[in-house]
Structure 1
Amino acid sequence: MNRVLPCRGRPRSGMAAAVVVVVLLLMSAMLVYQVQGVLRERRQLRRERYRIQAELLAEAGLARAALQLNNDPEYREENWRVSAEALPSDGEAEVAIAVTPEHVCTVVTLYPLSEDTKSQVDTVRVTRSRKLVP
């Protein structure tokens, strides 16, 4: 009777394939995690850019109100719509200006405004108030 004995020196190819699959799965998971981080950072930077632009528009609204009040002491309110072409990035802006009889000016800025409802989620609202000297 001749028995064939398994060769002990031969590597198991099935085990190597399983290790390769596990390594590929781990690398894929790490790649997905990195891509999610990059996308999260990108959204955060975009929101920060919108916030800074909205603050600049609010300051411009206060300056505009001061100029209008100097030209017309009866000036009380205005909705200033800034076109997308006049701004460095996405969408147009709306700056609502209100001046009390005591010359306290409140400005509310919304930026960016867009017809796309998905973009409205990123709209930043900034409110500034200041006493204006006529």
Structure 2
Amino acid sequence: MRIFKLTIKIILDSNILISALKNRIQLFKEIEEAILAKVEFITIPAVIKELEKLSVKGGKIGKYASLALNLMLNKCKLINFEASKKQVDEALIEASFKLDAIVATLDLDLKRKLRKANRPIITLRGNRVYCIPENLK
């Protein structure tokens, strides 16, 4: 039995959850196994709004976005966080600082911005969870 004093907050970007669903990856389980601490999955209104917009588009993207939205609402704690910027990427970066959270994303531009801001990142490579920096594990 592991006893964790530290709880790590993880904010999921919409693209990593959609990709995990497409590739049948149990993202929540994989992240919990990769991080050697208690994990709290959180989300912010900007990500929920993005998934809502995608889910009404129809087609495969709409289907996966709808599934991702339901999964996120059931598995993540919705934090009442209003970002000063309207863009989702900027809101995620701001939330990462203010909530002391790690962002899980596949977005290359967002990952670049997070690295530049010296923020930890969780991503997928070859259907495996990958942490940047690696000592995050």
TM-score (norm 2): 0.22
Greater Cα radius of gyration, structure 1 or 2? 1
